[in-house]
């Protein structure tokens, strides 16, 4: 059902379609499982840092020493943004975005694209925010490597959440039987 390459639909947001993967007929299943695994891995990476920070204690030989930095609410914000973005992006009806003729009015397509944009902006904002936290809170202060790990875990959480959203999108748009030809 895709249009020929020559007459581009000016209403399209992005002209490059997602790459077509051929994993066989199980690619939807595999993709969804992979997305869930990435999602859990992302959140556990950050929770690991949070739990580690909570359990950081003074060593036995120096009871007066305290850990210089802890995971606070600031570290949670990028992950929450990415999570909301993932929800928004994957809750959108993907047929709406393609904006085919005779399928809803153009206002609905416009709104769907606006929501998609907000979702991607939230995810990108989460990623950028995690890098910001890493640089401003950990690297610039010159903490040891075991505390910089908190920031690195934050960045990897957001990268994995974004990957999870992308994998889920590709998996769900590449249906086994109906062969959606997704042009975003």
Partner 1 sequence: MAAGLKTVILLSFVLALGFLLIILSCALFANWLPILVALTFVTAPLPNALFAHCASDEFSSDPGVGGPVDLGRFITSIVVVTGFALPVVLAHAEVIKPAACAMSIAGGALVYGTILAYTNTFKQDEDDFE
Residues of this chain that interact with partner 1 (CB under 8 A) are 28-29, 32-37, 39-41, 44, 47-48, 51-52, 54-55, 168, 171-172, 175-178
Q: Which is nearer to partner 1, 2 or 29 (CB)?
A: 29
Calculate helix-pair angle for 73-91, 106-133, nearest 10 degrees: 160
Alpha-carbon distance 104 to 93, whole Å? 12
Q: Which is nearer to partner 1, 51 or 108 (CB)?
A: 51
To partner 1, the closest distance from the beta carbon of 47 in angstroms equals 6
Does residue 39 contact residue 161 with C-beta atoms inside 8 Å?
Answer: yes
**Token pair for residue 138?**
């950990």
Direct distance between the N- and C-terminal alpha carbons of the chain, in angstroms, rounded to an integer:
13
To partner 1, the closest distance from the beta carbon of 18 in angstroms equals 17
Alpha-carbon distance 75 to 50, whole Å? 9
To partner 1, the closest distance from the beta carbon of 128 in angstroms equals 25
To partner 1, the closest distance from the beta carbon of 175 in angstroms equals 6
Q: Which is nearer to partner 1, 36 or 68 (CB)?
A: 36
């Amino acid at each position: 059902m895709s249009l020929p390459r020559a007459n581009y639909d000016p209403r399209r947001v992005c002209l490059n379609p997602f790459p077509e993967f051929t994993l066989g007929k199980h690619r939807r299943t595999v993709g969804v499982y992979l997305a869930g695994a990435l999602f859990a891995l992302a959140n556990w990476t950050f929770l690991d840092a949070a739990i580690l920070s909570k359990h950081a204690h003074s060593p036995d030989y120096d009871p007066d020493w305290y850990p210089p930095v802890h995971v606070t609410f600031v570290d949670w914000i990028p992950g929450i943004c990415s999570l909301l973005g993932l929800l928004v992006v994957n809750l959108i009806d993907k047929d709406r975005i393609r904006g085919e003729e005779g399928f809803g009015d153009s206002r609905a397509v416009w709104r769907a694209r606006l929501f998609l944009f907000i979702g991607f902006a939230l995810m990108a904002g989460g990623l950028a925010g995690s890098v910001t936290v890493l640089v401003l809170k950990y690297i610039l202060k010159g903490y040891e490597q075991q505390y910089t790990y908190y920031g690195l875990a934050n960045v990897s959480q957001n990268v994995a959440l974004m990957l999870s959203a992308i994998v889920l999108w590709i998996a769900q748009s590449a249906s086994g039987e109906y062969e959606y030809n997704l042009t975003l």
